[in-house]
Amino acid sequence: MKLHNGIEINNYELWDQDGFFAETGVEIVIKNLLPQMETAGIIVGSLHAPFKKDCIISEDEYESYFMKFQKCCKKGNAYKAKYLVIHPPVITGEENIIKDKGEIHLLEKSLLFWQKMGKEAGVYGLDLAFENMPPSQGWPSGCNWEMSLEIIKILKQPNIKTCLDISHCFVNKQIQSILTELNEKNLPVGIHVSDGIVDSRKDCHLPPGEGDLDWLNFFAVLQKNKYKRNLVIEVNSPYLGIDLLQKIISFLQKNIQNYN
């Protein structure tokens, strides 16, 4: 509430990996949190679902992880969110297939698991957005934008979408190409907005304007393709707070106005 009252943002993506919102159960959401949010004019547009930090999951962890995901689906429905964002977990053993061949359609166990997750999200009226990922144990060379689109193409489930993470585009050295590849047919359901450094492989999540992204061009591409969906500010800074968020919002609004 303090954050909402201090800045001009009323639409949020809640972090369900750890912390307050992850520890909050569905009943508390319905009885306490949602009424307060609705009174304040706060909208929960999406939830960031729990994830494995190395993007890999053993078959022994399969059920426990899915139960966490299922709980997130229930909370997403309770918050009246539109979609969940996930870091696609790869089933142990199939990371070698990605490393050696890089072909998504060969990930049989992982695809079945992602399909199950998509169906579960659909039960609760939610879309499931696959995020492009930097290199990890599960994705040795990263899950780039094309791979995210390939997952959607293979699964063929109407509620499975993509979420574009700008910082991850920098890590995967895709930040230049992504601005030419985006079009009306492959637009993500949400974009995680941050900045990065072109020659760095570090997942920086810098505040917009503190890196190398051509923001005027970025907004020009979005407008050209009639993007009307969420822009989620997702930055990593020791100075993160109301003052920095206000600065970020002013920067983004200025660039939008300059283009228009």
Confidence at residue 218, expressed as pLDDT on a 0 to 100 scale: 93
What's the average pLDDT block by block, 10 residues per block, for the chain (260 residues)?
Answer: 68 92 92 92 95 92 94 96 97 91 91 98 98 95 94 97 96 90 93 92 91 93 91 87 88 74
Residue 164's nearest CA partner among 182, 190, 146, 186 is 190
- Whole-number Å distance between alpha carbons of 20 and 74: 16
Confidence at residue 201, expressed as pLDDT on a 0 to 100 scale: 82
CA distances from 21 to 13, 93, 228, 235 (A): 11, 32, 27, 18
**Domain coordinates in residue numbering, the chain:** 2-259
Instruction: Kindly report, residue by residue over 126-150, the tens digit of the pLDDT.
Output: 999 999 999 999 999 999 999 999 9
Confidence at residue 10, expressed as pLDDT on a 0 to 100 scale: 85
Confidence at residue 6, expressed as pLDDT on a 0 to 100 scale: 65
Q: What is the pTM of this model?
A: 0.93
Confidence at residue 234, expressed as pLDDT on a 0 to 100 scale: 92
Confidence at residue 258, expressed as pLDDT on a 0 to 100 scale: 63
- Whole-number Å distance between alpha carbons of 98 and 96: 5
What is the homologous superfamily of the domain 2-259 according to CATH?
A: Divalent-metal-dependent TIM barrel enzymes (3.20.20.150)
Instruction: Kindly report, residue by residue over 203-237, the tens digit of the pLDDT.
Output: 999 999 999 999 999 999 999 999 988 899 999 88
Classify residue 226 as left (phi > 0), alpha (psi -120 to 50) or beta: left
